[in-house]
A and B are shown apart, each in its own frame.
Chain A
């Protein structure tokens, strides 16, 4: 279970997270919605311990992640898989080496066995026959899939998705959505996705949380969010430029 309690984070004068509270149960799929610059990515980085909070805590299975030392944190991270917005594949390694990276680091398996596992994981995300090519030769959608295969290679309990559908065409985006649902069903993984793609959120979420002005202003099932009376959430899901949400640097 993931529990975020009163989380604050600033960058200089920019107070990005202003007391985020969020609970994610085991096996649940939560989508955090929010506009550009709302601090979604900052929140995700806090959960996996890539940066430390100024105030507040992130508890994962009862352990406070910011209290862990370097070694404990590394050990702890084996519970996680993360899919980056840009996929963040290692461009000096072939596809199978990317997927098998964590196995190579943390197990004593031979390369042949790792390659076999990588091939299996790639098949799980719908890729066949790409093991030996380099990431630079892949399309955006394929890179996302390889990134996902890499994230699930050491069988994590928690998967984090940073804007999984951003930058993909609608069909590929939907295919990735299906894949996220499949991961949850097949592997029984707890997942947190951040996105501004409403359609994707409706599809993959058990629960949606809306991040605005550094706090979670509303949570609910997709159905509840669809019928919300909160004007900010309304404006966001309707995708209207007119409403209570102030666009930074834009005058109306």
Chain B
């Protein structure tokens, strides 16, 4: 009896995430199918690119510069104990390009643009605007989700490049200007130990995160149910699920790309 109960509750605990994963994958498939079919909503796509990319830029810049600065601060003071201050440049550059650039950018974009996406689509769903789109002979996946998905995919790596550069500048500022370490060593260490593969592997991650977060946030909003409360739930769910997906997949992507 107890065993059956246990299996039952395990089953029902597993059922929901499995179902949801399935539905997200289905949405992804139809999104991919609609990307290549005309008509192309170029104006919509540019609008979303500016929403996701341009409007997230200030927050990304501030986060990246301070991340670079604190990285330099922590590694400089710790490395000084065993006389390895010279390595700070490499540590900052490698951590940013391989890890922190893509991940932090993705988390910020989720919090800013992803949540807005889920809330917007959720509101459109509960106020029947998505049904209205369909009755006007317009496919809502094509019209609403494809532009957001593409913008996530394109803008995340661009933001990441900017975050990488700004972070390295922040690290330079702390190491060289505040701690007075050698300018030449910092630049040399950054330049010599950073390989092209560090940068583009980081950008592959960023592409994946961008696609994943925009798809998840669209999914949550698109299938929102139950009025204002449902929209709230969809938005929270979108942010939580995107964060988890980003952080968990980050490990596996790193293991695959960098090991």
Contacts and interface: CB of A to CB of B under 8 A. Distances in A.
Query: Is the pairing of A and B real?
Result: yes
Nearest to B37: A71
A212 interface: no
A105 interface: yes
A235 interface: no
Interface residues of A, number: 25
A88 B136 CA distance: 12
Contacts of A91: 127, 129
B134 A105 contact: no
A50 B139 contact: no
Contacts of A213: none
Interface string A75-86: 101101110111
B131 A77 contact: no
Contact of A74 (B124, B128, B131, B137): B137
B132 interface: yes
B39 interface: yes
B51 to A, nearest CB: 11
Contacts of B12: none
A75 B135 contact: no
B138 interface: yes
A20 B135 CA distance: 22
A50 B137 CA distance: 11
Contact of B136 (A50, A85, A101): A101
B137 A48 contact: no
Contacts of B139: 70, 74
Contacts of B134: 50, 77
B196 to A, nearest CB: 42
A252 interface: no
Nearest to A79: B137
Contacts of A88: 127-129, 131-132
Nearest to A80: B135
Contact of B135 (A70, A82, A89, A90): A82
B138 A74 contact: yes
A85 B132 CA distance: 11
A207 interface: no
A251 interface: no
Contact of A77 (B127, B129, B135): B135
Contacts of A186: none
Contacts of A101: 136, 138
Interface in B106-144: 124, 127-129, 131-139
Contacts of B124: 90
A75 B137 contact: yes
A117 interface: no
A90 B140 CA distance: 13
A106 interface: yes
Contacts of A86: 127-128
A85 B133 CA distance: 15
A105 B136 contact: yes
Nearest to A49: B134
Nearest to A103: B136
A112 to B, nearest CB: 17
B137 A106 contact: yes
A14 to B, nearest CB: 15
A145 interface: no
Interface in A58-110: 70, 74-75, 77-78, 80-82, 84-86, 88-91, 101-102, 105-106
24 contacts: A45-B131, A48-B135, A50-B131, A70-B139, A74-B137, A74-B138, A74-B139, A77-B134, A77-B137, A78-B137, A81-B135, A84-B132, A88-B128, A88-B131, A89-B132, A90-B132, A91-B127, A102-B138, A105-B137, A105-B138, A106-B137, A150-B132, A150-B136, A151-B135
Interface of B: 39, 124, 127-129, 131-139
Closest 4 CB pairs of A and B: A88-B128, A88-B132, A77-B137, A82-B135
Given A90-B124, A106-B137, A150-B132, 17 more contacts: A50-B131, A50-B135, A74-B137, A74-B138, A75-B137, A77-B135, A77-B136, A82-B132, A82-B135, A85-B128, A88-B131, A90-B132, A90-B133, A91-B127, A102-B136, A102-B137, A105-B39
